[in-house]
Amino acid sequence: MAFYYDQPSHTFSEYLLVPGYSDSTHIPTSVSLKTPLVKYKAGEESAITLNIPMVSAIMQSVSDDRMAIALAKEGGISFIYGSQSVENQAKMVARVKNYKSGFVTSDSNLRPEHTLRDVLDLLAKTGHSTMAVTHDGSSNGKLLGIVTSRDYRISRMDLNTKVEEFMTPFDKLIVGHEGVNLSECNNLIWENKLNCLPIIDKDQNLCYLVFRKDYDSHKENPLELLDANKRYMVGAGINTRDYADRVPALVEAGVDVLCIDSSEGFSEWQSRTIAWIRERYGDSVKVGAGNVVDRDGFLFLAKAGADFIKVGIGGGSICITRETKGIGRGQATAVIEVAAARDEYFKETGIYIPICSDGGIVYDYHMTLALAMGSDFVMLGRYFSRFEESPTNKLQINGTYVKEYWGEGSNRARNWQRYDLGGANKLSFEEGVDSYVPFAGSLKDNVNITLYKIKSTMCNCGALSIPELQQKARLTLVSATSIVEGGAHDVIVKDKVNSNTHI
């Protein structure tokens, strides 16, 4: 006989947080939203810690390299979508890792015999106005000079003028030497009013470039998520089909963390994928798994070796898995049960495995509820798809700007691997829709507002960190009538622009 749960499953909208005591120290600016991304042992720290509890979903319409850079600047991480060729995904990862670093490998290089025409062609190709002149035109050749936009005037120079005639020669450059640290480089930049500081080795070969703008960027984004080499951190989605080809390419490109992208993770396919990664890379390659909605699913993936586990089936705004297949669970109930299993596992083994709430987020406050219920971070699709930095087109429909947004299970994405159960290489039926979402502007502005709301609510609960919120939170189920009561009612609303709109 089938098993029946004795209680219905609930969504985030059916819960509210009950305020706790807060004193004068509980102010939003004092709240830390740091949270572990991957598992760790008791008494140790996670190998990767997020500065904000937000990651972007593994979706074509959400997470590419541009989104990854924008989110890393704010302290979160993106998982670049895997429903593309291995080569293209690896290139996206590499672009994030090379986009900005305290020490940048020069990707715009010239030889002395190149001409002004070559300079302009290279500028059009890369968009970089600072170009190193090396003896062989390579990024690590002997440095002979630097060309910037201040070295030439197109209107007054022949396009055939050789670079060596107008470049700033080496003997007039201020340079740093291999081994210098970033702080010392920044001091040289500021003391000498430089925009760029070349770093050379003992033989005058170019090693790196350090840019003034990168220092300014870090000051503007104090929470940016960086690796040990001061590069932005980035994740990538993989599937349970071509991992033997995809994982090595992503690792070679510099990916920081992987995640198996699947609509349902309680399967042999995921344990096989994790086992393959562990066999070849040990614990050096971090990989999340999922999605699951109960204790059994969590324990299966925990024992399989997952570094974090995603929770949620059918709760996404563009997901129709529940409609087409009749499987899933209310997101709040799923998070509560999996969080309890996570805590139980930690108590028994001393290994803490972070969980990620994926789906079911309609309002900003739902993120706070997910964290209070035990999630270490949340994965967001629709939320990020609305921003300028998402990879989709911005359109105007009936006078309103929108962005395209489609599910990985839609016919447009054709990501059959995500829903594959060992069958043919095709999408048998759709589990996602193709849609539009209202355009919301820049990621930075919106994320800052959302984070302030989360911090403010945490202060109301008397918590200054996510673990403290999870310990002190008091949650209550609400009736359908009280949900109506919670919004504006019995009035004629003049302006809805500042109301708590859908995200």
Sheet with strand 394-397: strands edge to edge: 394-397, 400-406, 434-438
Residue 24 one-letter amino acid: S
Contact 404, 393 (CB under 8 A): yes
- 58, 175, 290, 298 from 293: Cα distances, Å: 18, 56, 9, 8
The torsion angle over the Cα atoms of residues 208, 209, 211 and 214, rounded to 10 degrees, is -30
Of these residues, 231, 386, 418, 461, which one is catalytic?
418
Q: What contacts 35, CB < 8 A, 6 or more positions away? A: 49, 50, 53, 354, 376, 377, 466
Of these residues, 207, 259, 319, 461, which one is catalytic?
319
Q: Is there a catalytic annotation at residue 231?
A: no
Q: Is there a catalytic annotation at residue 474?
A: no
Contact 226, 241 (CB under 8 A): no
Q: What contacts 499, CB < 8 A, 6 or more positions away? A: 488, 493
Give the C-alpha separation, 467 to 465, whole Å: 6
Contact 133, 115 (CB under 8 A): no
Beta strands in 125-245, from DSSP E residues, in sequence order: 131-134, 143-147, 168-169, 176-177, 196-200, 206-211, 235-238
Contact 232, 72 (CB under 8 A): yes
Give the C-alpha separation, 382 to 102, whole Å: 32
Look at residues 180, 172, 136 and name the one whose alpha carbon lies nearest to residue 151. Answer: 172
Give the C-alpha separation, 196 to 213, whole Å: 9
Give the C-alpha separation, 232 to 110, whole Å: 27
Q: What contacts 317, CB < 8 A, 6 or more positions away? A: 362, 381, 382, 435
Residue 453, phi then psi, degrees to nearest 5: -60, -45
Residue with tokens 């996670």: 46
Contact 32, 455 (CB under 8 A): no
Residue with tokens 């699951």: 292
Active site residues: 319, 418
